Amino acid sequence: MNDAVERGVPVMTFDSDVPDSKRFSFYGGDDVLMGTQVMDELAKQMGGKGNVGIIAGNQNAPNLQKRVQGAVETAKKYPGMKIVGTFYHAETPQDAAAEVLRVRNAYPSINGFAMIGGWALFTPSLLTDLDPAKIKVVSVDALPVELPYVEKGLAPVLFAQPTYLWGFVSVKTIYDHVHDGKEVPPHVQMDLVRVSGENLGTWARQLKAWGFTDVDPK
């Protein structure tokens, strides 16, 4: 990145940042805040008490570590909430779902999962392997394949990243900066969209409008 900038090529990042580089701007969320939102919502769904497992993806990813940090710190606000552990895994649907089941079997007292990424919900297997009457999930991401988890009540709330806007806002920011010479902020904030049963249809239609072809028609 720095080499490109030094050769006169402006560089912008989105989704995952390289804050110590010479990029001129970053479009993405506040990862600590993402973890905070997930844990606050899970506490709400669990009535402020219960045992929680954090499903955390790649242990070496700085953005995910910040989300874990936000979740852990937020849990301290709720005396009745206990974090049993933070569990890492390869970021594939199969590996993530397998880790959820492994953790559930190893720690049967867990009745809530804070997922800082939605990998485990990219496969429908947990729809039958977990009982929504006994366990609640709150996760980042709300792509079409994950929406049945909201419908069934296993994941009453998903926090969607508006992925279409990664491209749209990034290109617009580059245009404003490079073509129009405007000052742009070093961090253009991306806010998560809270998806629940109340706005599930609206969100599904938004995904379809953005070009997703795997949205369930119902």
Q: Which residues contact 54 (CB under 8 A, 6 or more apart)?
A: 68, 71, 72, 83, 85, 86, 87, 113, 114, 115, 116
> For the segment 15-34, what is each residue's pLDDT rounded down to a tens digit?
889 989 999 999 999 999 99
Query: What distances in angstroms separate CA 170 from CA 155, 179, 195, one per listed residue?
Result: 30, 13, 24
Calculate what percentage of the chain has a pLDDT beyond 70.
Answer: 100
Residue 152 pLDDT exceeds 90: yes
d(CA 164, CA 159): 15
Phi, psi of 18 (to 5 degrees): -125, 80
Q: Which amino acid is at 23?
A: R
pLDDT in tens, 114-148: 999 999 999 999 999 999 999 999 999 999 999 99
Higher-scoring residue by pLDDT: 51, 62: 51
Longest dimension (CA), the chain: 58
Predicted TM-score of the model (pTM): 0.92
Predicted local confidence at residue 16, as pLDDT: 85
If pLDDT is split at 50, 70 and 90, which confidence band does 164 have?
very high
User: Is residue 206 helix, strand or coil?
Assistant: helix
Residue 106's contacts (CB-CB under 8 Å, 6 or more residues apart) are none
pLDDT of 14 = 94
pLDDT digits (tens, 9 = 90+) for 68-110: 999 999 999 999 999 999 999 999 999 999 999 999 999 999 9
DSSP 176: I
Q: Rounded CA gap, 22 and 6, in Å?
A: 9
Tokens linked to 63: 């953005």
CA separation for the pair 82, 11 (Å, rounded): 42
128 token code pair:
């039958």
